[in-house]
Every structure is written in C-alpha cells, then in structure tokens.
Amino acid sequence: MTEPEYRAGIVAVIGRPNTGKSTLVNALVEEKISIVTSKPQTTRHSIMGILTAPETQIVFVDTPGLHGGSTRLINRAMNRSATSSMAGADFALFVTESTGWKAGDELALERLKESGIPALLVINKLDLLKRRQDLLPVLQRYSERGDFVDIIPISAKRGNNLDRLLEVIRQHLPVSPQLFPAESKTDRNMEFRVAEVLREKMLFLIHEEVPYGLAVEILALEHRDDLILIDAIVWVDRESHQGIVVGRNGDRIKKISTLAREDLEEIFKRRFYLKAQVKVKENWGDNARALRQLGYEEGL
C-alpha cells in the first residue's frame, strides 16, 4: 500500500468584516494567532496561521475584512493587503455568516472572483440559527452566489464541522513538501503579536469611537531569563481620545496592560512585564509615513 502524497499550500481566508475569519484560523491552528473581538475591522494585517499534520501543511492567511465606503488610507491599505494575499494563494476560503447574505459579502466575492483562485464557501456561525431545518434554504441560496468547489457550514466558535473542512481543503492543495518548519505556527514575530494583543484589550474595554483611531508600537522587547520586558506606545489620532484611553488616574491603561499581560503569558508560557504609555499622532490613519512606521508597508 502506497503512502499518501504530502500536500502543502497557502489558503487565503477571505470575506467581509466580522464573519469570524480570525476565530476560524485560530481554531484550525489551535493557537491564538489573530486577535478576535466583536468589532468590525479588528484584523488590520494579513497574518499566517500554520497547521502542520503528518500528511499536510496548510498555511492559512487571515486577511482584513474586505470593505467599501471609506477613503481613509488605512482602510485602503487593509483592502490591498487582503487582495494581495489572494494573489499568492493556492486556494481560498470565502467565509460568510449563516444569518444572511449582505452587501459586504457581494463586494468581497467580487474581489475573490477577480483573483481567479478556486474557493470553498464556508458558512460560519451555525450556532446562531434557531432551528436545524433553517440551514437547508441558506445552503440553497448561497450556492447560487458563485462557482464554489464545495460548501461547508461550520461554527468556528464551537468547533463544529472543522474536521470536514480540513479534509476538503487538503484535497485541493498541491502535492508539495512543507513550506515552513513543522514547529512554525505563524509568520509574525513576538513584537507584532504583543502589539495586537494589547490592541485587542483596548477594543474590548473602550466602547466609544476611539478604538478605530488606536495603534500600538513596540519600542522595546527584552528577554531576561524567564521574564520578557515590553515597552509600548499606544497612539491615538485625536488629543481628546488620550484621556479616554488613559482613564481616571491611569486606571484604564493599567487594566488594558494587565489583561494583555495575562493573555501573553498564556500564549507564550513566559512571564511578561508590560509598560504602555499613550501619545497623540494626529490623523495617523491617513498619513503614509505614520502607517509605514506602524507596520502597514504591505498595503501601501
């Protein structure tokens, strides 16, 4: 009996904002690679999550949600990042929700069609359907939207049907050796992941319009025995937002830093000391130089 051929490839995870793409990638890779919140456009960069198995290596590329309606430079950079991720992919997962097809889905699907890569339609958030019999009409309506190689309903949050999803993905990957070392989980370094976790906690704790004007820059990351020291700046794009992020007597930024530290210690199994200060960089989201400083080169 012959051994199955090893398959490896790059799978772009595409869709409009807030369909659960990052939750799905984290669940498939079984590690927190991308931050997750309920706010649209939480993911700003394309991030690889790497799953290595005995017969397969799947390199998932979690992408920013494709969206229209904004002329800001950061939004254009996010869209370009998502689109460019499709250019080098072998396959795509087009992720949408079970609760209804929206205009944003149509916009994202148009970008996917332009790429010309084969795609699997992933209908996420099955847990939001009230009755099991409601799924069939959803499958029928969505199947008419495009020429997909298959349609798989899942719940990324609950882990439902992910084994079947992985089986279908493997069937559509090229015969290839591993693309990354077996121990790799992501292409992003620790500085990037620390900045993202810190930003995630701000998205959780700040409910005004402020989160969309927040960015994090890591000034220093130092390893000392089993302790990692982090010095970070939180940039806000308006002076009026600085006090909101800092909070009364610095209480809010302290809470944000504590939650981030706890999460980082769980992810990396190391002790962290995190110091964050809040500064103003007016309208950084429309400033190409500021965006490059904050790591948005891939979309500019």
Residue 41's pLDDT is: 81
Whether residue 35 is found in the same domain as residue 151: yes
Find the CATH number of the domain harbouring 244: 3.30.300.20
Report the distance separating Cα 49 and Cα 186, nearest Å.
5
Residue 76 lies in a domain: yes
Angle between helices 251-268 and 239-246 (to 10 degrees): 70
User: Using one digit for the tens of pLDDT, what is the confidence trace for 148-197?
Assistant: 999 999 999 999 999 999 999 999 999 999 999 999 999 999 999 999 99
Residue 109's pLDDT is: 93
Report CA Rg, the chain.
20
Residue 177 lies in a domain: no
Residue 182 lies in a domain: no
Residue 256 lies in a domain: yes
The answer, as to whether pTM is greater than 0.75, is: yes
Per the CB < 8 A criterion, the answer to whether 204 and 37 are in contact is: yes
Report the distance separating Cα 299 and Cα 74, nearest Å.
8
Residue 226's pLDDT is: 85
Whether residue 103 is found in the same domain as residue 160: yes
What integer is the mean pLDDT of 233-262?
94
Tokens at 280, concatenated? 């103003």
Tokens at 228, concatenated? 């990692």
Whether residue 153 is found in the same domain as residue 60: yes
Residue 49's pLDDT is: 97
> Between 235 and 40, where is the model more confident?
235
Whether residue 288 is found in the same domain as residue 152: no
The yes-or-no verdict on residue 1 having pLDDT over 70 is no
- Output the CA torsion sign for 162, 141, 85, 116: positive
- Choose one of 171, 200, 233: the last residue of a domain: 171
Question: Checking phi first, is residue 103 left (phi over 0); if not, alpha (psi -120 to 50) or beta?
Answer: alpha
Find the CATH number of the domain harbouring 112: 3.40.50.300
Q: How many domains does the chain have?
A: 2
Residue 184 lies in a domain: no
Whether residue 202 is found in the same domain as residue 165: no
Residue 265: domain span: 190-299
Whether residue 117 is found in the same domain as residue 263: no
Q: Alpha carbon of 12 to those of 1, 97, 233, 256: distances in Å?
A: 33, 17, 31, 31
Number of H helices, E strands in the chain: 9, 9
Whether residue 135 is found in the same domain as residue 199: no
DSSP letters along 188-249, please? --HHHHHHHHHHHHHHHH--SSGGGGEEEEEEEEEEETTEEEEEEEEEESSHHHHHHHH-GG
Report the range of poorest mean pLDDT among 3-7, 97-101, 178-182: 3-7
Residue 185 lies in a domain: no
Whether residue 127 is found in the same domain as residue 196: no
Whether residue 16 is found in the same domain as residue 82: yes
Whether residue 199 is found in the same domain as residue 144: no
Report the distance separating Cα 7 and Cα 11, nearest Å.
12
Whether residue 11 is found in the same domain as residue 103: yes
Residue 87's pLDDT is: 87
> Which H helix or E strand runs over 13?
strand 7-14
Phi, psi of 68 (to 5 degrees): -120, -175
Residue 83 lies in a domain: yes
The yes-or-no verdict on residue 300 having pLDDT over 70 is no
Q: Which residues pair with 275 in a beta bridge?
A: 231
Whether residue 160 is found in the same domain as residue 201: no
User: Using one digit for the tens of pLDDT, what is the confidence trace for 185-243?
Assistant: 999 999 999 999 999 999 999 876 676 789 999 999 999 988 999 999 999 999 989 99
Per the CB < 8 A criterion, the answer to whether 274 and 216 are in contact is: no
Residue 181 lies in a domain: no
